[in-house]
Structure 1
């Protein structure tokens, strides 16, 4: 299994951030792929969502994404599932209960060495390919503030920060130093 880890630095008024991804508002995650057979990279980002399922040719299974490698003609498939629900602010006292149960959940997935500054938001079962990069500008994120207010934001291409202002509380809201990585687990 592969996992998409995200991390960031929050302003202290943010409780957590998470992708806007529901059946009514489906997120299309953009990734770069490499074929594991011929090691050629697919030329452009591919879009995958967690709700769409396709019948796999010659199999009874389903996958979130299917592709035939244009270089070696091998069938590639990816099953995408949501993993942890959000990236929680580790400096926020409201999140202490969540972090208490997190270690056990991660241990079962082979992610026990991942610190609480990161969240494994997506899990990938890749067959014939591997994901090499996530394009964070492809997804809209939601920030839940300590007050319960939800603010929507999107990273610009090539940017890793977002700044806004909460008019209700008269304070700045920010997500900075956003980063992502693809890691192997169980």
Structure 2
């Protein structure tokens, strides 16, 4: 069992106080690498903390159950409950963990952010729901504060955590 924080995020925020996911319903889209044979999936796989899948060989449940196409090993992955955090305007320019995955036999190698993010403007401004970060940036306008808002240069990296 390896705990991985692929969500060491870094971004530039324009007039945004905090950025976070629609936890626990956010769909994490990840490319995965088999820990047994090293095969990397061609497509992105999605997992959501709120969705549980029964494992075939025991009585437990998991967020993602996947069989490697190359070696046929069955692997699983979970979002660690309570690991979802927020990226704030105080974190700009730094990498910050906003989710941790419990990986059994597989590890993420790429992430596709998609929609489902929430951005809250500074100074009690507008709350933008279902923000789409597919392009690794997003812009809008906060009517309440009469200013443009945005998320730019979104980056992430995968690290193992204890």
So what's the TM-score if we normalise by structure 2? 0.87
Partners of 2:84 and 2:69 in 1: CA distance: 33
**Cα deviation code 1:9-52 (max 9, x no counterpart):** 111x3211001235xxx221110011111111122110100111
Partners of 2:148 and 2:13 in 1: CA distance: 11
Partners of 1:155 and 1:85 in 2: CA distance: 17
Aligned length in residues? 156
Matched residue, 1:112:
none
- Give the C-alpha shift of residue 134 in structure 1: 0.9
Matched residue, 1:125:
102
Partners of 2:96 and 2:117 in 1: CA distance: 14
Structure 1: state its 5+ residue gaps: 93-115
Matched residue, 2:86:
86
> 170-179 or 79-88: which moved more?
79-88
Partners of 1:143 and 1:51 in 2: CA distance: 21
Structure 2: state its 5+ residue gaps: none
Map 1:26-41 to 2 at 5 A: 26-41=25-40
Matched residue, 2:13:
10
Map 1:32-51 to 2 at 5 A: 32-51=31-50
| 1:155 equivalenced with 2:158 (yes/no) | no
SS for the counterpart of 2:41 is coil
Give every structure 1 segment of 4 or more consecutive aligned residues whose post-TM-superposition deviation is greater than 6 Å. none
Partners of 1:71 and 1:179 in 2: CA distance: 30
Partners of 2:110 and 2:153 in 1: CA distance: 17
Distance 1:91 1:69, change over 3 A: closer
Partners of 2:91 and 2:106 in 1: CA distance: 37
Determine if contact 1:19/1:140 at 8 Å carries over to the other structure.
Answer: yes
Determine if contact 1:87/1:118 at 8 Å carries over to the other structure.
Answer: no
Higher normalized strand content (fraction of residues): 2
Partners of 2:51 and 2:91 in 1: CA distance: 36
Partners of 2:33 and 2:112 in 1: CA distance: 15
- Give the C-alpha shift of residue 136 in structure 1: 1.1
